[in-house]
């Protein structure tokens, strides 16, 4: 019980919370007392009121469910695909020779630039949104998987060869346990990217979810609701990251990187 309380106290960052409250207070006072009226910059109280109304009506809940579903679906595909590509790049000279340059050319391409291509291929659909999410979030998993594979000590592989382990035995007993920590850190980064790209894709490629809610609120000249959608997006990002971190820590309690990152 004491250890649980100590962990909760460590997670509760009182100075950071006090700073956030102070900044919100300054924002509120600044907007209320400004000599020049900021017509489209609402006070935090107005944002909270608009967000509460959207939650009560169920509008923002449905949009959030759509965005989270697409982000998680794209993240799952990107994690599996990125781990497979990363292992292939790390252990197959043939894959590196024929596909390494192509992947390096694609990696710097911004995901937003890929949205028009996906729209031409799939139209304004969920498929477009998930495709763009996968393209954006696969790279952290690939990079971290390759880094984890290259960090395997050569003696481990030499020992596996001495023991005449099969390829599948090497993969299950040496490679995957060594690569798993780095791959999971990449997966956490990829989840944050998946949510961000999902919102962007909804703004320009799939009229649904939180991203489209931001656009419609902006077009309707409802800045309080628009900022409320932004607050909801940030809260979802924190919640998803916390859930993923807790799940990884529970499934793999011996991985120190997950507790430290």
Is 161 inside any structural domain? yes
Residues of 28-46 as b/e, b for ≥16 C-beta within 10 angstroms?
Answer: beebeeeeeeeeeebbbeb
Task: Specify the pLDDT at position 44.
Answer: 85
Is 10 inside any structural domain? no
Is 163 inside any structural domain? yes
pTM for the predicted model, two decimal places: 0.83
Averaged pLDDT, 159-182: 74
Is 97 inside any structural domain? yes
Domain count of the chain? 1
Burial of 194 (0-12, 13-18, 19+ CB in 10 A): buried
* Range with the poorest average pLDDT among 28-37, 59-68, 81-90, 97-106: 28-37
Task: Specify the pLDDT at position 1.
Answer: 47
Task: Specify the pLDDT at position 80.
Answer: 94
pLDDT per residue over 187-200, tens digit each? 999 999 999 999 99
Is 22 inside any structural domain? no
Query: Measured at the alpha carbon of residue 30, what is the angle toward residues 29 and 34, in degrees to the nearest 5?
Result: 115
Is 1 inside any structural domain? no
pLDDT per residue over 204-232, tens digit each? 877 888 999 999 998 888 888 999 999 99
Cα–Cα distance for residue pair 239/256, rounded to 1 Å? 21
Distance of CA 154 to the CA centre of its chain: 33
Is 217 inside any structural domain? no
Cα–Cα distance for residue pair 193/188, rounded to 1 Å? 9
Is 58 inside any structural domain? no
The answer to whether 44 and 24 have CB atoms below 8 angstroms apart is yes
To the nearest whole percent, how much of the chain has pLDDT over 70? Answer: 88
Cα–Cα distance for residue pair 256/261, rounded to 1 Å? 9
Task: Specify the pLDDT at position 207.
Answer: 83
Task: Specify the pLDDT at position 81.
Answer: 94
Q: Taking Cα atoms as reference points, which of 70, 73, 100 lies closest to residue 85?
A: 100
Q: For residue 240, give its domain range.
A: 64-207+236-260
Share the mean pLDDT of the chain: 83
CATH of the domain at 132: 1.10.3720.10
Task: Specify the pLDDT at position 255.
Answer: 61
Averaged pLDDT, 85-112: 85
Query: Is residue 13 scored above 70 in pLDDT?
Result: no
């Amino acid at each position: 019980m004491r250890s649980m309380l100590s962990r909760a106290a460590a997670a509760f960052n009182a100075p950071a919370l006090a700073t956030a409250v102070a900044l919100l207070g300054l924002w509120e006072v600044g907007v209320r007392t400004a000599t020049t009226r900021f017509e489209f910059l609402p006070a935090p109280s107005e944002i909270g009121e608009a967000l509460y109304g959207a939650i009560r009506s169920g509008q923002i809940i449905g949009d959030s469910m759509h965005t989270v579903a697409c982000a998680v679906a794209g993240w799952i595909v990107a994690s599996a695909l990125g781990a497979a590509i990363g292992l292939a790049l790390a252990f197959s000279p043939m894959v590196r020779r024929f596909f390494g340059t192509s992947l390096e050319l694609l990696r710097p391409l911004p995901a937003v630039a890929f949205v028009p291509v996906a729209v031409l291929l799939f139209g304004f659909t969920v498929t477009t949104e998930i495709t763009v999410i996968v393209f954006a979030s696969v790279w952290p998993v690939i990079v971290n998987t390759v880094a984890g594979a290259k960090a395997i000590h050569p003696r481990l592989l030499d020992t596996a060869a001495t023991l005449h382990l099969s390829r599948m035995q090497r993969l299950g007993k040496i490679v995957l346990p060594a690569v798993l920590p780095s791959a999971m850190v990449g997966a956490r980064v990829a989840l944050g990217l998946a949510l961000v790209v999902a919102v962007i894709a909804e703004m320009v490629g799939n009229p649904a979810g939180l991203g489209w809610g931001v656009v419609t609120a902006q077009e309707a000249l409802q800045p309080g609701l628009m900022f409320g959608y932004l607050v909801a997006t940030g809260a979802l990002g924190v919640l998803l990251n916390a859930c993923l971190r807790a799940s990884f820590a529970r499934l793999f309690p011996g991985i120190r990187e997950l507790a430290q990152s």
